[in-house]
Amino acid sequence: MIQLTLKDGTVMEREVGVTGLEVAESISSGLARVALACEVDGIPKSLMLPVEHDCTISILTWEDQAGKDALRHTASHVLAQAVKRLYPDAKLAIGPSIKDGFYYDIDCDHVFVPEDLEQLEAEMKKIVKENLKLTQFDLPREEALRFMEEHNEPYKVELIQDLPKDAVISFYQQGEFVDLCAGPHVPATGKIKALKLTSCTGAYWRGDSNRKMLQRIYGTAFLKKADLEEYLTRMEEAKKRDHRKLGRELDLFALMDEGPGFPFFFPKGMILRNQLEAFWREVHAKWGYEEIRTPLILNEELWHRSGHWDHYKENMYFTQIDGEGYAIKPMNCPGGMLAYKRKPWSYRDLPRRMAELGQVHRHELSGALHGLFRVRSFTQDDAHIFMTPEQIPGEIAGVIELIDSIYKVFGFKYHVELSTCPDDFIGSEEMRCLSEGALRQVMEDRGMDYIVNPGDGAFYGPKIDFHLEDSIGRTWQCGTIQLDFQMPERFDLTYIGSDGEKHRPVMIHRVAFGSIERFIGILIEHYAGAFPSWLAPVQVTVLPITDRTADYADQVAETLTQAGFRVETDHRNEKIGYKIREAQMQKVPYMIVLGDKEAAAGTLAIRSRSGGDLGLMTTEEFVEKLKLEVEQKA
């Protein structure tokens, strides 16, 4: 007999070899119906696998992310089976579940087009209807190699060859289809109630641009058709909001072939960017930060000292100056260390809060580049706080409040995750426990809900990550607070304590926007390009109806410009309806329509982007209205 501890602490005794499904059935028939997988000692497993030792066990349903992953991983196998049925000569690579879906990488002479995806999807639905059971079996490594060679699957052979010689290799079978896989999967293909293939792109085998380009077919799967329809509607809305498309239409920025991954910002994009940076400076001055700027290129020795050389050099760019090695900075931290070290400090001087809008460069694979979301050059809104150990809780709490105040301005909700130290953490076990415990304690003292993300911290310490939710429900990781005992040690940073002796400061690395470029991309999609008045590159468009009101239009535009607003006047010889539509397409917050009556009365006919006709106002009334909106960042 073995003892199984359930999520609520209940302990049950069962025969060795009991399955997760049998455990679910013993709890309730309702749970067994909705069960998708199980978790044994924290590791997701298929429901049909035997449990052979004392353990904790949880039954996973659609409410659990691991349950969703199991269903979507099974859907990727259904896709692969459909591909093999329709294109028997196709070679299979890998097919994991991903956020909101799955994909499978395929080597096939036939180039898949949208019509092919429709046929594959139809075949997948047949496989689902067949309700094929998924069964798992193991083979020793050499047998597994022969098995995949007999099936003419060279990519699977390569994967097995990378495993240890004494490894036991796991396979899953459904009907005539067998795939190399560690699982977990749902018990049968019939569990997939709703699926959709969404796109096909290219992907290098193993992400290596020197290897063959495969075809990657993306899809998604749900338990309910209604959930699938809601997801597809959201994806259609996301396409309309695509920041790359809107960036071109609104003339904000572009990525060009002459500089892949290096964004060009145009005048309107620079206005948006400058407004964000001005807001950032305003907030940081209020919270007691000093702004610094550190060099773009620094000596190679510095990056050895900081530890980035050992942990990050594959993502760095290098150059030679006067016969010595230099690196273009991928992070601002080492420069911040040198800024602190420029002079001695007393405990009375701490905390020192040094903020920097620092441009960094990181080498990203060309296939990973994506608009402003993944670039090779970007500006981090970094800050480094140097403090005594006693100041840690107060400074972490202060950063949380600062970041919260920034996100509220944009209307973002968010959740937080505690990312604990990774395996390559460069500090001691004592430092790991102390730093992780400090972050936990501050969040718990503030009553914050948080998710633990094991091992996803930086090599020098744990972090709190802020995940924003945009207007259509997508999440974006932006803000970060990292607690670091290691960099001050590596750079021999000190302060003079109240005892007259030298002590080591503790530091916080933190960002609020994360990357200015990426945050702009998020804002474009969050607002669908319709920025609030304070951010909008053009706040007002003046639209004279005829040439007779052109001079009055220029007077109004000049008055608004002198009041500090960003104004354009449309003097084109076009009908007023056309001009209004054009201004709406450019997402301008306010349009002022001026005809003979307005010119004679000295009034303005105001239209808003969202509210339509707002009626007549005097110039002074409109200036006060817009000024209040901008000041309040409404």
Strands (E), 61-134: 91-92, 97-98, 101-107
Q: Which of 38, 181, 333, 478 is catalytic?
A: 333
Q: Is the pLDDT of residue 352 over 80?
A: yes
DSSP-derived 3-state class of residue 299: strand
Task: Provide the CA 390 distance to its chain's centre, in angstroms.
Answer: 33
Mean pLDDT of 562-585: 95
362 among known catalytic residues = yes
CB 179 within 8 A of CB 92: yes
The pairing of beta strand 603-608 with beta strand 612-618? antiparallel
Amino acid 569: pLDDT: 97
Q: Which amino acid is at 515?
A: S
- What is the DSSP secondary structure assignment for residue 304, as one 8-state letter? H
pLDDT mean over 554-583: 96
Closest CA to 600 of 624, 622, 616: 616
For residues 369 and 432, give the distance between their C-alpha atoms in angstroms, rounded to a whole number: 34
Which of these is catalytic: 382, 465, 484, 570? Answer: 382
DSSP 563: T
Q: Which member of 463, 518, 587, 607 is catalytic? A: 463
Strands 540-544 and 506-511: unpaired
Catalytic choice (77, 156, 216, 384)? 384
Rg (CA), the chain: 29
Confidence (pLDDT) at 362: 95
* pLDDT(16) > 90: no
SS3 273: helix
Using one digit for the tens of pLDDT, what is the confidence trace for 355-414? 999 999 999 988 788 999 999 999 999 999 999 999 999 999 999 999 999 999 999 999
Q: Would you give the distance in Å from CA 556 to the centre of its chain? A: 43
* Cβ–Cβ under 8 Å, residues 547 and 574: no
Give the predicted TM-score (pTM) of the model.
0.82
pLDDT higher than 90, residue 471: no
- Whole-angstrom distance, CA of residue 39 vs CA of residue 59: 6
**From 509, 526, 579, 607, active-site residue:** 509
Q: How does pLDDT run across 474-495, given as a tens digit for each residue?
A: 899 999 999 988 889 999 999 9
Owner of token pair 């991954």: 261
Residue 51 has pLDDT above 80, yes or no: yes
* Predicted pLDDT at 363: 93
Q: 570 falls in which pLDDT band (50, 70, 90)?
A: very high
Percent of the chain with pLDDT over 90: 82
Question: What is the sign of the dihedral through the CA atoms of 569, 575, 579 and 580?
Answer: positive
Q: Residue 252: pLDDT band by 50, 70, 90 thresholds?
A: very high
Whole-number pLDDT of residue 255: 95
Q: Is 333 a catalytic residue?
A: yes
Q: Which parts of 152-255 are beta strand (E)?
A: 168-174, 177-180, 194-204, 213-222, 253-254
In angstroms, rounded to a whole number, what is the distance separating the alpha carbons of residues 145 and 205? 19
Q: Are 67 and 15 in contact (CB under 8 A)?
A: no
Nearest to 316 by CA among 335, 297, 339: 297
pLDDT of residue 317: 95
Residues in a beta bridge with 591:
541, 607
Q: How long, in residues, is the chain?
A: 634
Burial class (CB in 10 A: 0-12, 13-18, 19+), 447: exposed
Domains detected in the chain: 2-61 (3.10.20.30), 66-237 (3.30.980.10), 253-527 (3.30.930.10), 540-632 (3.40.50.800)
Catalytic residue among 81, 174, 215, 380: 380
Judged against a pLDDT cut of 80, whether residue 260 lies above it is answered with yes
Answer yes or no: are the C-beta atoms of 485 and 332 closer than 8 Å. Answer: no
Q: Whose structure tokens read 């953490």?
A: 425
Residue ranges of E strands in 300-395:
317-321, 324-328, 352-361, 377-387
Share of the chain above pLDDT 70, in %: 100
Structure tokens at 64: 């659990």
- Tens of pLDDT along 408-418? 999 999 999 99
Cα 394 from Cα 547, distance rounded (Å): 62
Q: In this structure, are residues 163 and 141 in contact, taking their beta carbons and an 8 Å threshold?
A: yes
Q: Peptide bond before 351: cis, by omega within 30 degrees of 0?
A: yes
Query: Is 427 a residue whose pLDDT tops 80?
Result: no
Q: Is the pLDDT of residue 297 over 90?
A: yes
Q: Determine whether 304 is an active site residue.
A: no
492 phi-psi bin (left φ>0, alpha ψ -120 to 50, beta other): left
The pLDDT, as a whole number, for residue 497 is 96
Which one-letter amino acid corresponds to residue 84? K
Place of tokens 């998708």: 36
Q: Is 322's pLDDT higher than 80?
A: yes
165 band by pLDDT with thresholds 50, 70 and 90? confident
Task: Quickly state the pLDDT bin for 472 (edges 50, 70, 90).
Answer: confident
Determine if the peptide bond prior to 88 is cis (ω within 30°): no
Q: Which one is predicted more confidently, 82 or 238?
A: 82
Sole residue written with tokens 């949380």: 400
CA atoms of 440 and 509, how far apart (whole Å):
16
509 has catalytic annotation: yes
Question: Which pLDDT score is estimated for 125?
Answer: 97
> Does the pLDDT value for residue 460 go beyond 80?
no
Which pLDDT score, from 0 to 100, does residue 366 have? Answer: 81
- Please state, in angstroms and rounded to a whole number, the distance separating the CA atoms of residues 579 and 591: 10
- Which of 541, 591, 548 has the alpha carbon at shortest distance from 569? 541
Q: Is the pLDDT of residue 108 over 90?
A: yes
* Cβ pair 513, 276 in contact under 8 A: yes
200 an active-site residue?
Answer: no
- Tell which residue, 200, 199, 204, has the closest CA to residue 367: 204
**What values do phi and psi take at 245, rounded to 5?**
-65, -50
Average pLDDT over residues 427-449: 88
- 433 catalytic? Reply is no
